[in-house]
Chains A and B, each alone.
Chain A
Amino acid sequence: MTEASPRRMGEPDLGAEPMVIEIGPQHPAMHGITRMHAELDGEVVVSVDVDIGYLHRGFEKECENSNYIQIIPYTDRLNYVSPLINNIGYSMTVEKLFGIEPPRRAEFARVIMAELSRITDHLTCLGAMAMEVGAMSVFIWYVKAREYLWELVEEVTGARLTTNWTRIGGNANDLPDHFLDMLEERLKMVESVLDEGEKLLLRNKIFIDRMQGVGIVSKERAIEYAFTGPMLRACGVPYDLRREDPYSVYPELDFEIPVGTVGDCLDRVLVRVEEMRQSIRIVRQAAEMLPPGDYMNYDRRASLPDKMEVYGSIEGLIDHFKVVMDGPQPPPGEAYQAVEGGNGEVGFYIVSDGSGQPLKCRCRPPCFNFVAALSEMVVGHYVADIVPIFGSINMIGGELER
């Protein structure tokens, strides 16, 4: 990383005291919830103390007082620009505890929705970062593309952001009949926006100058900070959980993992831009391979029975009653399952004591490590460089502070 250099470019030493400023939490470039206590020498950052916690909602405490089905909507609120990935990660962990396998159709549907969420996540990150350095139109266009995808998500889940879509053993509902046609239409629309956006960003000298050589993290340092996702890949490490610890049906799909070379903000932009293309590729493949069948693997221990069953048979009614009143009760044990989120490794660590409520439900947030490393990344840069660096780590408050 860059060494602390109080002065640059032959500035005379006037012997000034460092100036202390508080950036945020209300500053728009801090996304509203992070405070930086920065010490400056002129315009150069000497030290930064990052203060987080303004959006802490007590996710884990809430989980310990809820049953396993009630937690699924809480996970929407972790990374709220790609909620489906959190849903999937959580459900996979509970499925691991129960030993339930979702049907293949549900797996493919999950992959499609996860990749769409990854695109919305990257669009948000790139759009916000571009806006913060002055490229307003990119933000508007990317948000437009994000809206195309969220309408698609709404068709499937009934909500744009608070999806609450997966269940233990499958999904809440099947992909609608017209989904595949609509998907292809929307992907084409998104692709055209991506083309335009890439031109606006990567052929823009001002944008490149603001990004290039800023916020460099070396490969070794990134690994030591346990960076994952696009931040680590920008440093040149081809670490992607979809390949590293393959889960779901990813081994059957063909995609590439883009990596950067230097590990600066521009590399992070380029990695995200390429990942969106790869995600579209995965969605197309998965849509083609989408098998017929059931979208839910009903297990009487874990899932609510079909309504026809509940109203039509005594067993269904009792199963429904047990699951609603006691909650699903996985056998005692513990499980950790990680999925590749928009930002990196989203891991869930759940300890079950055999009761209806988890003894411990922990979410491992990927952007936690990035914000931890932030003070090291901005030291030695100008104050104005804090904005693209902070934008490039894609801090999502819901996930960071849970």
Chain B
Amino acid sequence: MSEATPPPEGAAQPEAAAPADSPPELTALLRSTFANSVVDHHCQHGDETVIIRREGMLEVFRFLKEDPRCAFDMMIDLTAADYLPRAPRFELVVHLKSITLHHRLRIKVPLEEGAEEVDTISGLWVAANWYERECYDMYGIHFAGHPDLRRLLLYEEFQGHPLRKDYDYHVQQPLVPLRAVQERHDYEMVVEYPTPAEDGDGGPPEEPAQD
């Protein structure tokens, strides 16, 4: 997947460092157990990293959590990275930690542009729930099977996903008409607030702010 095509000139290529001659213990274990899933590995700056395929990643994560040799009981961090001109554009990055065995591991899942959908791991670690919501918010990566995939830090009407490299740094978001607080929760009693247009002095609500 990622090694099929060499990345174009000038593209980011963080996994360029050659794999160590003898892979560390966890990497070797994953390589032997999931020969089809593991794409690559490296151990830059002492951070053990395994790159796996999107297909079947859930089995790998389940193994990492449940196998006594891994016992990753904590999902420390989940995020993504956008390597825009490169061929698998996105990478899902998960940092795991085992409290019982005191080791760490980084798992990366390359994702092609246009197919930014992965299985949720919030069923394995409940901590992933909000991290996945944030990741969806910022990168537009969909997590299939997520119980509540809403935007977390931004608002629902926000256009685009700001941490994608093709999101313009200087773009100004359009104004959103004032909405009742309860509207999105779909209750029987919806408070009718006047929109700025009805007030008469607010101007049309969809006009973007001109600074």
Known: A61-B163, A351-B12. Is A223-B73 also a contact (CB below 8 A)?
A: yes
Is B153 a contact partner of A360 (Cβ separation < 8 A)? no
Contacting B at CB under 8 A, from A25-78, are 37, 49, 52-53, 56, 58, 60-61, 64-65
- In the complex, A22→B187 CA distance in Å? 14
A225 within 8 A of B: yes
A residues near B82, Cβ cutoff 8 Å: 360
Is B102 a contact partner of A244 (Cβ separation < 8 A)? yes
In whole Å, how far is A337's beta carbon from the nearest beta carbon of chain B? 9
Is B181 a contact partner of A22 (Cβ separation < 8 A)? yes
Known: A56-B154, A65-B169. Is A353-B47 also a contact (CB below 8 A)?
A: no
B residues near A61, Cβ cutoff 8 Å: 162-163, 167, 169
Is B16 a contact partner of A359 (Cβ separation < 8 A)? no
In whole Å, how far is B98's beta carbon from the nearest beta carbon of chain A? 10
A residues near B154, Cβ cutoff 8 Å: 53, 56
Is B45 a contact partner of A372 (Cβ separation < 8 A)? no
- The residue on A at minimum CB distance from B11 is A353
Q: Contact string, B1-21, partner A, CB cutoff 8 A, digits 1/0?
A: 000000000001110110000
In whole Å, how far is A65's beta carbon from the nearest beta carbon of chain B? 6
Is B185 a contact partner of A37 (Cβ separation < 8 A)? yes
B60 within 8 A of A: no
Is A333 a contact partner of B163 (Cβ separation < 8 A)? no
A362 within 8 A of B: yes
- In the complex, A83→B152 CA distance in Å? 25
- In the complex, A266→B138 CA distance in Å? 36
- The residue on B at minimum CB distance from A53 is B153
Pick from B14, B104, B153: contact of A334, CB under 8 Å: B14
- In the complex, A97→B17 CA distance in Å? 13
A332 within 8 A of B: yes
B127 within 8 A of A: yes
Is A336 a contact partner of B126 (Cβ separation < 8 A)? no
A79 within 8 A of B: no
In whole Å, how far is A233's beta carbon from the nearest beta carbon of chain B? 12
Pick from A244, A336, A359: contact of B106, CB under 8 Å: A336
- The residue on A at minimum CB distance from B162 is A61
- In the complex, A334→B91 CA distance in Å? 13
Is B152 a contact partner of A52 (Cβ separation < 8 A)? yes
Q: Contact string, B93-127, partner A, CB cutoff 8 A, digits 1/0?
A: 10101010010101000000000000000000111
Count residues of A near B (Cβ-Cβ below 8 Å): 45
In whole Å, how far is B137's beta carbon from the nearest beta carbon of chain A? 9
- The residue on A at minimum CB distance from B154 is A53
Contacting B at CB under 8 A, from A220-262, are 223-226, 237, 239, 244-245
B44 within 8 A of A: yes
Interface centre among A97, A244, A336, A368 (most CB of B within 10 A): A336
Q: Contact string, B154-173, partner A, CB cutoff 8 A, digits 1/0?
A: 11000000110101010000
Is A359 a contact partner of B81 (Cβ separation < 8 A)? yes
B residues near A60, Cβ cutoff 8 Å: 138, 163
- In the complex, A56→B155 CA distance in Å? 11
Known: A22-B181, A37-B185, A61-B162. Is A224-B16 also a contact (CB below 8 A)?
A: no
Contacting B at CB under 8 A, from A348-402, are 349, 351-354, 359-360, 362, 364, 368-369, 371-372, 401
Is A335 a contact partner of B47 (Cβ separation < 8 A)? yes
- In the complex, A58→B138 CA distance in Å? 10
A residues near B27, Cβ cutoff 8 Å: none
- In the complex, A401→B138 CA distance in Å? 12
A residues near B75, Cβ cutoff 8 Å: 226
B76 within 8 A of A: yes
Is A332 a contact partner of B73 (Cβ separation < 8 A)? no
B195 within 8 A of A: no
24 sample A-B contacts, Cβ–Cβ < 8 Å, listed by A number: A53-B154, A56-B154, A58-B162, A65-B169, A223-B74, A225-B126, A226-B127, A239-B99, A333-B17, A333-B45, A334-B47, A336-B47, A336-B77, A338-B76, A347-B77, A349-B93, A351-B12, A351-B81, A353-B13, A359-B14, A359-B81, A362-B77, A368-B131, A401-B153
Q: Which residues of B contact A (CB under 8 A)?
A: 12-14, 16-17, 44-45, 47, 49, 73-77, 79, 81-83, 93, 95, 97, 99, 102, 104, 106, 125-127, 129-131, 138, 152-155, 162-163, 165, 167, 169, 181-182, 185, 187
Q: Which residues of A contact B (CB under 8 A)?
A: 20, 22, 37, 49, 52-53, 56, 58, 60-61, 64-65, 96-97, 99, 223-226, 237, 239, 244-245, 332-336, 338, 345, 347, 349, 351-354, 359-360, 362, 364, 368-369, 371-372, 401
